[in-house]
Structure 1
Amino acid sequence: MCGIFAYLNYNATRERRHIVDLLFNGLRRLEHRGYDSAGISTDADPCCAPLTVSSGAVLRSPPPLVFRQEGKIENLVSSFHHEAVVAELDLELSFTSHAGIAHTMSATHGEPSPINSHPETSGEGNEFLVVHNGIITNYMDLKGTLLRYGFHFESDTDTEGIPKLAKFVRDSLNQDLGSDGGDKQVVPFTQIVMDVMRQLKGAYALIFKSSYYPNELVACKRGSPLLLGVKETGDMRTDINVESDLSAEGHHGKPKQYYLASDANAIVEHTRRVLVIEDNEVVHMKDGAVHVFKFDSDKSRRLLRPASVQRGLSTLEMEVEQIRKGNFEHFMQKKIHEQPDSLTMTMRGRLIRGREQKAKGILLGGLKDHLKTIRRSRRILFIGCGTSYNAALAARPVVEELSGIPVTMEIASDLLDRQGPIYREDTAIFVSQSGETADTLQALEYAKSNGALCVGITNTVGSAIARGTHCGIHLNAGCEIGVASTKAYTSQIAVIVMLALALGDDSLSTQQRRNAIMDDLYNLPSKVRDVLKLDKHMKELAALLMDEQSLLVFGRGYNYATALECALKVKQVSLMHAEGIVAGDMKHGPLALVDETIPIIVIATRDACLNKQQSVRQQLKARKGRLIVMCTEGDAEFMCPDRRCRIIEVPKVQDCLQPIINIVPLQLLAYHLTVFRGFNVDQPRNLAKSVTTQW
């Protein structure tokens, strides 16, 4: 939920102003994840005298400076410059080497405030500082222990105990080794971090900075995303050479810059060479070298040299333009209008065309060795959260139709709560835009432990779900900046439809149906481009609805998911109450809500449920419902003969693809509602991009 960014320059002279601006800009690239406070830490002037703390230990460098502020990043920027003037901080001072860390905080423990913001500190002198993404579930136990050892806590966060624990571990280890805790650092920085990790329960990505270890950073993770970007001069090697010896010999003092972030958006403008840090890896940056170690939870290995790991750098498959708004006012608006291109990229190389552009087949390279196993499955489970769940729900009917396999839908948290049965004969398909959703990740581990074949559908190469599943499909929909998912949703449906086509390609009885779907898939981007022309119409409708308190959306069949997704988008960004309702259940409660005051959207495009939706429309109209009917082009007279309801006409495609068409104008409606109501489109209240905490 939070955003982490760090920057370390080695033998690459940079002014403090440049370093601070880089940290602020890194945080701006993470704004889309959702936050309510922010903070940074930079080094003090080297000329300052070392600080002697209450324990008598002399730090190796002056205490780092910490700046924290609630609210938006610009609040932090303003307060930083004010404090810099008051403290007469020299922004033009140059640093040959420097380690800075930064953080955007989405409050989970305690209300937003500077004291509850990160970086969190070990106490007087800022000997250890930590930024944290995730949640520590045993923080109260740690806090109780540290209080008994004389530590004082100031914040309500679950993070404050981590830097304090690091200080406690360092002091204890130095005492065990007979060190007086002075300048000579007997205990390696990585050893302290690993001892801290042994005490932590929960999900986290952590970056440690310490006055005892100047110009060094240590990062580690378990269940939360973290990437390392590498930028160096005159050396284009793709491997990080890891040695147990942490000396700088052999590195020849080449200038290097390292970037750590919880999202690739904050790194890509600096470098595309990245290391995706795995769970239980500890990454140490020191003297121009990167060393990766595997964390061992065995406490008997305390003070022993950890095992090093050889890792290779990968290349980010994204462009800098993807993290910019271009000519659009907001990222959500940009993403909605990018959907013709995102669908094209998602289908490229997978939708195979024959002669005269006739449908030929589907090629899913990531699944080709597993399709036979999936076809033999007793059932298929789609597992996801929020929009990803809705995307799988939209495509479920066609998967059942073409594969002949029963399909079960599971919200990841609910599956975990009730420990639903999963068997070796099942195929579990995990759908996630980020590939880092906490509940979905835990459901993945649960399914793997029960022996099921696990398939991932994500939009993020190298994500935890992409790495943890047996096989999968990458959406290739492009970067999703902004909390509300839009283009990933339509690409997820397209991918699952292609999966259904691939599963059914051994059946002659469905060949005509499959060819028709493939033909419409080929034309789908142009159809979406046509739907986007409704932007002005949806803006006018949003203007009429902007003062409403609630919205009902009725759908059924393929478009029950469309009703759910429309309601989710409306309440997610415009903060208007909205409810997606399966129309077949209308008489079992929802009809009581209908009167002349509440606006109602009825999704009634041409499919097997059209006549049923016409009946629903008539019943709602009889109860004076204020109707907005979405229908297929040419059906306006049929669906609303008295012309007393507002009409949204959309192009017709195969029924399994209609949810992709139908959601686009409703995404536009949610976007314009949010703008009219004066809320932040890209950063909805109380929400975050990648949910990395479990509730």
Structure 2
Amino acid sequence: MCGIFAYLNYNVSRERSYILQVLFHGLRRLEYRGYDSAGIAIDSSSSSPALPAADPEAPQSSASAPLCLHPQPHVFRQEGNIESLVKSVYQEVAPDLDLQESFNIHAGIAHTRWATHGEPAPRNSHPQTSGAGDEFLVVHNGVITNYEVLKETLIRHGFTFESETDTEVIPKLAKYVFDRTTEGEGEVTVTFSQVVLEVMRHLEGAYALIFKSRHYPNELVACKRGSPLLLGVKELTEDGKSVSAFDAFPSANENPKELFLSSDANAIVEHTRKVLDIEDGEIVHLKDGGVSILKFDKDNGELGGVLSRPASVQRALSVLDMEVEQINKGNYEHYMQKEIHEQPQSLKTTMRGRLIRGGSCKAKTVLLGGLKDHLKTIRRSRRILFIGCGTSYNAALAARPILEELSGIPVTMEIASDLLDRRGPIYREDTAVFVSQSGETADTLLALEYALENGALCVGITNTVGSAIARRTHCGVHINAGCEIGVASTKAYTSQIVVMAMLALAIGSDTISSQERREAIIDGLIELPNKIREVLKLDQKMKKLAQELMAEQSLLVFGRGYNYATALEGALKVKEVALMHSEGMLAGEMKHGPLALVDENLPIVVIATRDACFSKQQSVIQQLHARRGRLIVMCSEGDATVVCPGDNCRAIEVPLVEDCLQPVVNIVPLQLLAYHLTVLRGFNVDQPRNLAKSVTTQ
């Protein structure tokens, strides 16, 4: 996953220092999506004379034409985090730049990278260039699966490559298309969007791209397929103030405005809430203060050697359902800490308007508006498949027992990548539920396409309105957890479990025999935010435990039943942020191998809150104690003396809730433990090593 951002000011004067500030701040908002290198491209001058294409001694493609160009842009690329880039620009380059130079029109692009092809290094950072002269520049989020074939073709046409990235083929392909279509011409006759359309025709994979070119000064072109991309529009008055009542889609005119492109709403919301969710296959061309949208058609290629000119698409702007406060840390030190402590509110928001409490003679029930027209089809399903990756998979696993209980339908679990590798059977009679915080997870999206091809009813459960999964599924539920910036998912996980519990209630709502059970769960859901507030009071206790464990090398977590998923997710949190080996294990499998690891030094967490598996977990604790296991037992309030067999056992007491909701309560202490372990061990809790948010590359 990478973060891409662009800023274009039109007919409003902005100094270079201001433009740099906007680009850098946009990258800071996106840094959780990639933080091993970063780069930007800005114009060198607002008034310099046109320059030749490049040094005549430099290697050129065989089709190069001697066209005049806008001045060569400044491109800055740096290994490391955003601040490394900022430091290099201001301390090393800024003395040679006129930071007070004003631009009435300027288009800048920026990128923060999470390495997939090539190590973190300036040569592999974005923007990637077409070669000497930087005629075409591209920032990219995603992966180009056929880049090796394209690279070989371009090398045969005289291009040389400097990076190991898949991205570098894109600007070079743009130059090749441009040179071929303008060969022998005295002026540029092909539009920027036409060049990009032809480039898209040759690309395979998932991507969001922003193009900048010296041949098309003050223009930007963006396109996407399978990766998120937003356009933000800010209309201004002549004195540069924002126009609050702007509703029309921007057309080419002299009205001052600012336009933003971003792979995430976080980088746009502080500038404007007027946005356009760019759809797959759309090309957005920013030119002369206007925005034109073209639809990519792979079958409509070159006609008689002339690039196709597709008609424009008319789209309406929407309003972001997000406030700037949501993307700030507030009084917290880290986003992960903030998001853990936001869970009472995020759960309340997730349930708002969906729990129907009933009256004196009416049953309590749930209302999921996005599913109400499809519930009959789901109830007739042969089976329900839950498909996800990582934390989303664990959330579905936590909800599986209650779904089977209330629906009476077999529920199977699939890790998205494994389903695709096996080409597992999916039938028309199946309901496939796709769970993803971002709604853009690559493997989950590919599994969705596979399920659609096989005719299954596809349901999406995401935290992002307008995401690819939200758009492509037949129906779904938005979990409403709010913006989650920390790479390690916390509040989205608990909200996903709650949504899937409500899904189980909705599917089983036509069964009279389970009415009492359903009403008990609804009562439990209503009380859940308060129960989480109680659990959060364990914060200092978990910090003290983290101090005792911070020097350990491994941690085991045993769970079963509803809390097998809690064991997996708790171990995952410790693993991904504290960089400590941890494994979640099914307690029923303890004797089939894991018991060999037990000694007096290895810390072991056993989840033994009161449910149908409580007595079995007591037996597990006794067997671990008999082998002098170093035990940390999570139990229900008042059970510490019952579950802890001796001095070598520490108890963590949590509130008791309805059994299917207990995983929501039980995961919070483990989230706190992972957070404090990470901070105490000196690691970056919001940007864990080798991980990034919302993985859209395979």
TM-score where L is the length of structure 2: 0.96
- What are the superposed Cα offsets for residues 391-444 of structure 1, whole Å, 9 maximum, x if unpaired? 000000000000000000000000011110000100000000000000000111
Say which SS state the counterpart of residue 478 (structure 1) adopts: coil
Out of 219, 222, 226, the position equivalent to 2:222 is 219
Name the SS of the counterpart of 1:588 in structure 2. Answer: coil
Describe how 1:339-350 pairs up with structure 2 within 5 A: 339-350=343-354
Aligned letter for 1:12? V
Report what 1:121 is aligned to: 129
* CA distance in structure 2 between the aligned counterparts of 1:197 and 1:56, rounded to whole angstroms: 23
Shift in Å, 1:31: 1.1
Matched AA of 2:24: F
Counterpart amino acid of 1:51? L
User: Residue in 1 aligned with 2:233?
Assistant: 230
Question: Partners in 2 of 1:336 and 1:574 — Cα distance?
Answer: 16
Deviation at 1:305, TM superposition (A): 1.4
Distance 2:193 2:675 in 1: 46
Counterpart amino acid of residue 12 in structure 2: A
The question of whether the paired residues in 1 share the 8 Å contact of 2:38 and 2:78 is answered with: yes
Unaligned runs of 5+ in 2: 57-63, 238-242
Classify the secondary structure of the residue corresponding to 1:509: helix
Does the 8 A contact of 1:382 with 1:410 survive in 2? Answer: yes
Q: Which amino acid aligns with 2:189?
A: V
Q: Equivalent residues in 2 for 1:512-531 (5 A)?
A: 512-531=516-535
What is the match of residue 63 of structure 1?
72
Per-residue CA deviation, residues 277-316 of structure 1 (Å, 9 max, x unaligned), is 1111000000010000000112345522112111111111
- Structure 1 pair 356–671 and aligned structure 2 pair: CA distance change class (3 A): farther
CA distance in 1, matches of 2:173, 2:29: 30
Q: For residues 273 and 413 of structure 1, what CA distance do their matches in structure 2 show? A: 36
Deviations along 1:117-173, one digit per CA (max 9) or x if unpaired, are 000011111110000001111111111111111111111111111111101100101
Secondary structure of the 2:591 match is: helix
Q: Structure 1: 5+ residue runs without aligned partners? A: 243-247
Q: Which residue of 2 aligns with 1:185?
A: 188
- Find out whether 1:196 has 2:199 as its counterpart: yes
SS of the residue aligned with 1:123?
Answer: coil
User: Residue 659 of structure 2: SS of its match in structure 1?
Assistant: coil
Percent pairwise identity: 73
Residue in structure 2 matching 1:205, options 208, 219, 230 = 208
Aligned-residue offset at 1:356: 7.9
2:400 aligned residue:
396
Instruction: Pick one of 158, 168, 171 that aligns with 1:160.
Output: 168
2:597 & 2:157 partners in 1: Cα distance? 59
2:152 equivalent in structure 1? 144
| 1:411 aligns with one of 403, 412, 415 | 415
1:484-536 Cα shifts (integer Å, max 9, x gaps): 10000000000000010111111111111111111010000000000000000
1:481 is aligned to 2:485: yes
1:303 lines up with 2:307 in the alignment: yes
Secondary structure of the structure 1 residue equivalent to 2:512: coil
Number of the residue aligned with 1:245: none
Does residue 81 in structure 1 map to residue 85 in structure 2?
Answer: no
1:5 paired to 2:8: no
Q: Is 1:381 the equivalent of 2:389?
A: no
Q: Which amino acid aligns with 2:27?
A: L
Report the equivalent of 1:240: 249
Answering whether residue 669 of structure 2 is matched by residue 660 of structure 1, we say: no
Is 1:689 aligned with 2:693?
yes
Bigger drift between 595-604 and 641-650 goes to: 641-650
Q: Offset at 1:603?
A: 0.2
One-letter code aligned to 1:84: V
Instruction: Output the CA distance in 2 between the equivalents of 1:239 and 1:584.
Output: 61
- SS of the residue corresponding to residue 618 of structure 2 reads helix
Number of the residue aligned with 1:16: 16
Distance, in Å, in 1 between the alignment partners of 2:250 and 2:692 is: 36
Give yes or no for the alignment of 1:425 onto 2:426: no
Greater alpha carbon shift after TM alignment, 128-137 vs 358-367 = 358-367
2:264 maps to a residue whose letter is D
- 1:453-464 matches, within 5 Å, as 453-464=457-468
| Deviation by residue 1:545-589 (Cα, 9 ceiling, x = unmatched) | 000000000000000000000010000100000000000011111
Aligned mates of 2:34, 2:117 — CA distance in 1: 15
**Where do residues 250-289 of structure 1 align in structure 2 (5 Å cutoff)?**
251=253, 253-289=254-290
* 1:51–1:125 Cα contact (<8 Å) kept: no
Once residues 397 and 308 of structure 1 are traced to their aligned partners in structure 2, the CA distance between those partners, rounded to angstroms, is 49
Residue 676 of structure 1 and its aligned partner are, at CA, apart by: 0.4
1:30 alignment partner in structure 2: 30
Letter in 1 for 2:281: N
Q: Pick the aligned partner of 2:439 from 424, 435, 442.
A: 435
Q: CA deviation at 1:690?
A: 1.1
CA distance in 1, matches of 2:275, 2:540: 41
CA distance in 2, matches of 1:50, 1:122: 19
Shift of 1:358: 9.3
Deviation at 1:636, TM superposition (A): 0.7
Of residues 76, 99, 103, the one that matches 1:91 is 99
Write the mapping of 1:608-623 to structure 2, written as runs, cut at 5 A: 608-623=612-627
Residue by residue, what CA displacement relative to the aligned partner does 1:189-221 show, whole Å, maximum 9, x if unpaired? 011001111111111100000000001000000
Which amino acid is 1:75 matched to? S
SS state of the match for residue 513, structure 2?
A: coil
The answer (yes or no) to whether the contact 1:34–1:684 under 8 Å persists in 2 is no
Shift of 1:540: 0.2
Mapped to 2, the partners of 1:311 and 1:241 lie a distance apart of 11
Rounded Cα–Cα distance in structure 2 between residues aligned with 1:205 and 1:140: 19
AA in 1 matched with 2:77: R
CA distance in 1, matches of 2:201, 2:449: 21
What TM-score results when the alignment is normalised by the length of structure 1? 0.96
Of 134-143 and 418-427, more deviation after overlay is shown by 134-143
Of the structure 1 ranges 641-650 and 630-639, higher mean CA displacement relative to structure 2 is found in 641-650
For residue 56 of structure 1, report the CA deviation from its aligned partner.
Answer: 5.7
The whole-number CA distance in structure 2 between the counterparts of 1:215 and 1:336 is 43
User: 1:197 corresponds to which letter in structure 2?
Assistant: M
Kindly report structure 1 stretches of 4+ aligned residues shifted beyond 6 Å.
356-359
Q: CA RMSD in A?
A: 1.4
User: CA separation in 2, counterparts of 1:169 and 1:217?
Assistant: 17
Matches for 1:165-180 after TM superposition, within 5 Å: 165-175=173-183, 178-180=184-186
Aligned length: 680
Judge conservation of contact 1:551–1:579 (CA < 8 Å) in 2. Answer: yes
**Cα distance change on mapping 1:387 and 1:397 into 2, 3 Å:** same
Name the counterpart of 2:476. Answer: 472
Matched residues in 2 for 1:590 and 1:363: separation?
Answer: 43
Q: 1:607 aligns with which of 600, 606, 611?
A: 611
> Which structure 2 residues correspond to residues 495-506 of structure 1 after superposition, within 5 A?
495-506=499-510
Give 1:48 shift.
3.0
Aligned residue identity for 1:574:
A
Is residue 8–residue 107 contact of structure 2 (8 Å, CA) maintained in 1?
yes
CA contact (8 A) 1:241 1:311 kept: no
**Structure 1 CA distance, aligned partners of 2:416 and 2:284?**
31
Supply the distance in 2 between the matched residues of 1:641 and 1:159 (Cα, whole angstroms): 58
Determine the C-alpha separation between the residues in 1 that align with 2:535 and 2:620: 25
Once residues 56 and 593 of structure 1 are traced to their aligned partners in structure 2, the CA distance between those partners, rounded to angstroms, is 69
Q: Which amino acid aligns with 1:66?
A: V
